[in-house]
Each structure stands twice: as C-alpha cells, then as structure tokens.
Chain A
Amino acid sequence: SQKIEQNSEALNIQEGKTATLTCNYTNYSPAYLQWYRQDPGRGPVFLLLIRENEKEKRKERLKVTFDTTLKQSLFHITASQPADSATYLCALDRVDSSYKLIFGSGTRLLVRP
C-alpha cells in the first residue's frame, strides 16, 4: 500500500540556521508533491507545490526539492525564525478526477531564539 514517511521526531534548531525536513514515499507515483504548515489547533495551510518534472521550487525562504528516483522530497527553510515553529506536512497528489491528497503525519519544527 501507499506509504508516506516523515520524521516523527521533532527537529530542534537554532534561529538563523537552515531547517531541512524529509518526506519519503513508497508504492506511489505522484504527479505533484505539496507541503503544508500546521499550527496547534489550526487547519493545515498550503505552502508549496512541486511537479514530478520539477527538481526544485523556491518561495521566499522556502525551497523544495523532488527526486522521483529516490522517492524523496526535501523541504528547506533558510534563515529560520522562531515564528517558523510549527508542524510541516508532506502530501502526495496524482492527476485524476478526484484530486485527492495523501498526507504524511508531519514533522514538528522548533526554532530556538
């Protein structure tokens, strides 16, 4: 069955450093991969989408890579700030009429001041 793995252990880094989160998947051929941010008690918020034929995408301090051979995506936050502390979810998507997303369980990021 399809499986998405994100590190369940929290990532704890110092302000100003680059945070790197990993998303691995098996038994799936996604057309797109998405990243979301979720704060406690809130719904997930869409951050970035990357297509299977794109290697990298950037948005401000965020960078996402997508390696379909390794079946892995890396999510980077450069110059991290305490306000970046949240849980980050990876989600896989494929092109069909349903536009369904399959989510990983997320990795919690804590940025220390």
Chain B
Amino acid sequence: NAGVTQTPKFQVLKTGQSMTLQCAQDMNHNSMYWYRQDPGMGLRLIYYSASEGTTDKGEVPNGYNVSRLNKREFSLRLESAAPSQTSVYFCASRTKGVDNYGYTFGSGTRLTVV
C-alpha cells in the first residue's frame, strides 16, 4: 500500500545542473501529474499524463520535461536548473472514471537551486 512514491525527498543543485525527479504509483492509476508548490502560490501544474503514452503541458511547463515510462512511472526532468525552480515538487495520480476519489499525492521533493 505504498501509493505514490517520489525520490529523492531532498536535493540541492547548482545553477545549470540537471536532474530527474522520479515518481511511481502502485494503484494502477491511469493519470499522473507533476505540480510545484511555492509559498503563497498554491499548487501549479507543470505537466500531466492523462494515460500511458501521452503527456501534455500544464500551467508552468517551461524549463521542464517529462517521461511517462510506463503506467506506473512518470518522471520530471530539469535540464538546466535555475534558482526560480527552487520549490517543492509533488507527483500525483488518479484513476480514470472514478469520480468519487481525488488525487493521491506523493510526499514531495524539496529542491533548492543555488
């Protein structure tokens, strides 16, 4: 009953470095999402994958890329990190068609870019 697992939990990057945030869910959910959360800004959608094999941009996609590796895994890549990408990143998943349930979130990755 792991739910949504994100790795790493914490990361410090230097400006210009790259990294990939990993996310995996074990609930057989179709849709997966990446959000960032900044103080006073709420959760903002970066990218999403409505189903395996598809990905689409959200509200703030610039500077990020994603890969939906299979139904379980959805990774977020920062190619050249910038201080403006310092944030807490959350991955979430949701099953299709079951409208009594909301998103299941991971515990987050706290990223600092210096």
Contact = CB atoms under 8 A, between A and B. Distances in A.
Contacts of A104: 42
What bracket does the count of chain A residues touching chain B fall in?
A: 20 to 34
A98 B32 CA distance: 9
Contact of B102 (A41, A46, A105): A46
Given A32-B99, A42-B108, A46-B102, A99 B40 contact: no
Contacts of A49: 99-102
Given A44-B43, A46-B101, A99 B50 contact: yes
Contacts, number: 62
A45 B108 CA distance: 12
Contact of A99 (B4, B41, B90, B94): B94
A89 interface: yes
Nearest to B104: A46
B96 interface: yes
18 contacts: A4-B42, A43-B4, A43-B106, A46-B101, A46-B103, A47-B102, A49-B99, A98-B31, A98-B48, A98-B56, A99-B50, A100-B48, A100-B58, A101-B103, A103-B35, A103-B44, A105-B41, A105-B42
